[in-house]
């Protein structure tokens, strides 16, 4: 009996099939009710009692081995079957649909790369700030209107905790910790308590620039901004600086670029002036340097700050600032090719 079992086991183990029908035939031959395995089970009653234990064990092993063999053969044909039904495993895979960069990130990265070519590094600071970094160190007098609840989001319980209203707070942080030479830009999100409309939002982004060293002059500022404007808006771009006021720069200016849409001739984007205002700038006020423990007798510096939304709107002709924050896929998809 044991010989029969092991002969059958060998037969089953070496069996092959070249189609699913042949697998079925093997199944019938070996493990159906009248199959060879069951016939041996039927003979089991004739086995002498003292051999029953050993023979029973061998029979069970035979049965399991047969079941496994039939299943493996069947599986191999089933996967092959779906291949035959049209899946060519050698074909390149379906491409994964990637998202695209947000237009604000595209423009931010471009600005970072332009200043990178001039040797500016990138630094960041916290969005939740304190009065010192956003206002006091930057020479804002205590009664300055920007400190008003009207413009700034304060934490009610502790008015010393606020959301930064400009990235100039990163100037403070960098100058507190680094002695000149400093040549960095600071991109980041800022918050102002403003009504949301097509032109303004309570959340937006800025890029701040800071250059502090010996003998930094207004001419350096002007040349840096001219290079930047030509790189961003095109070689024919002109700039003009108009006197302005910021507590942390002296003298201060606002910079316009010649309108990149009409080339300066006048259109509805530049309101027929030929110029677009894009940033505020100036020479770092010596009081600010001193607040940050930098020797204002030895060092001078310039700073500038611009809104990324405004530049992106000009760049791509976007009419409503709210598009940037709505995450409407139809809007975002338009920048897929711009990566």
Smallest gap from residue 246 Cβ to ligand PHE (A): 4
At its nearest, how many Å lie between ligand PHE and the CB of residue 278? 11
Minimum distance, C-beta of residue 282 to ligand PHE, in the bound complex (Å): 5
Which residue numbers belong to the known binding site for Mg(2+)?
250
66 or 253: CB nearest ligand PHE: 253
d(CA 106, CA 92): 30
Structure tokens at 54: 């050993």
In the complex with ligand PHE, the residue whose CB is nearer, 233 or 304, is 304
| Residue with token string 């350096």 | 220
CB of 189 to ligand PHE, least distance (A): 13
In the complex with ligand PHE, the residue whose CB is nearer, 275 or 304, is: 304
Q: How far is the CB of 96 from ligand PHE (least distance, A)?
A: 40
Q: Which is nearer to ligand PHE, 259 or 303 (CB)?
A: 303
Q: Smallest distance from the beta carbon of 269 to ligand PHE, in angstroms?
A: 21
Which residue, 226, 253, 229, is CA-closest to 242?
Answer: 253
Looking at the DSSP assignment, which residues form a beta bridge with residue 189? 205
Residues that constitute the known binding site: 250
Report whether 284 contacts 209 (CB < 8 A): no
Total count of residues recorded for the chain: 339
| Centroid of chain to Cα 304 | 26
Q: Which residue's CB is nearer to ligand PHE, number 27 or number 173? A: 173
Among all residues, whose Cβ is closest to ligand PHE?
305
Which spans of this chain sit near ligand PHE (rule: CB under 6 A)? 166, 168, 208, 246, 249, 280-282, 303-305
> With the CA atoms of 259, 263, 269 and 272 taken in that order, what torsion angle do they form, in degrees rounded to the nearest 10?
100
Euclidean distance between CA atoms 274 and 306, whole angstroms: 19
If the CB atoms of residues 259 and 285 are measured against ligand PHE, the closer one turns out to be: 285
**Tokens, residue 229:** 């404007």
Nearest alpha-carbon partner for 201 in 193, 213, 209:
193
Helix (H, G, I), strand (E, B) or coil at 150: coil
């Amino acid at each position: 009996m044991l010989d029969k079992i092991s002969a059958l086991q060998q037969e089953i183990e070496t069996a092959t099939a070249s189609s699913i029908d042949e697998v079925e035939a093997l199944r019938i031959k070996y493990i159906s009710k009248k199959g060879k395995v069951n016939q041996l089970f039927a003979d089991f009653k004739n086995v002498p009692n003292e051999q029953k234990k050993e023979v029973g064990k061998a029979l069970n092993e035979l049965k399991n081995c047969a079941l496994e063999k039939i299943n493996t053969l069947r599986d191999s044909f089933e996967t092959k079957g779906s291949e035959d039904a049209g899946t060519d495993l050698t074909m390149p895979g379906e491409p994964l649909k990637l998202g695209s960069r947000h237009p604000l990130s595209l423009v931010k990265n471009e600005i970072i790369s332009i200043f990178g070519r001039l040797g500016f590094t990138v630094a960041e600071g916290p969005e939740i700030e304190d009065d010192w970094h956003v206002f006091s160190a930057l020479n804002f007098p205590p009664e300055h209107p920007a400190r008003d609840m009207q413009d700034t989001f304060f934490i009610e319980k502790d008015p010393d905790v606020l959301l930064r209203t400009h990235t100039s707070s990163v100037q403070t942080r960098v100058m507190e910790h680094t002695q000149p030479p400093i040549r960095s830009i600071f991109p980041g999100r800022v918050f102002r308590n403003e009504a949301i409309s097509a032109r303004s939002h309570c959340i937006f982004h800025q890029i701040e620039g800071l250059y502090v060293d010996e003998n930094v002059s207004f001419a350096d500022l002007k040349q840096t901004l001219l290079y930047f404007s030509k790189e961003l808006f095109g070689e024919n771009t002109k700039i003009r600086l108009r006197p302005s006021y910021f507590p942390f720069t002296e003298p201060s200016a606002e910079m316009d670029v010649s309108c990149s849409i009409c080339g300066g001739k006048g259109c509805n984007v530049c309101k027929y002036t030929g110029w677009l205002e894009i940033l505020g700038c100036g020479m770092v006020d010596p009081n600010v340097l001193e607040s940050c423990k930098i020797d204002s007798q030895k060092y001078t510096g310039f700073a500038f700050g611009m809104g990324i939304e405004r530049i992106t709107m000009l760049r791509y002709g976007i009419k409503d600032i709210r598009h940037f924050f709505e995450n409407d896929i139809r809007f975002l998809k338009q920048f897929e090719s711009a990566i």
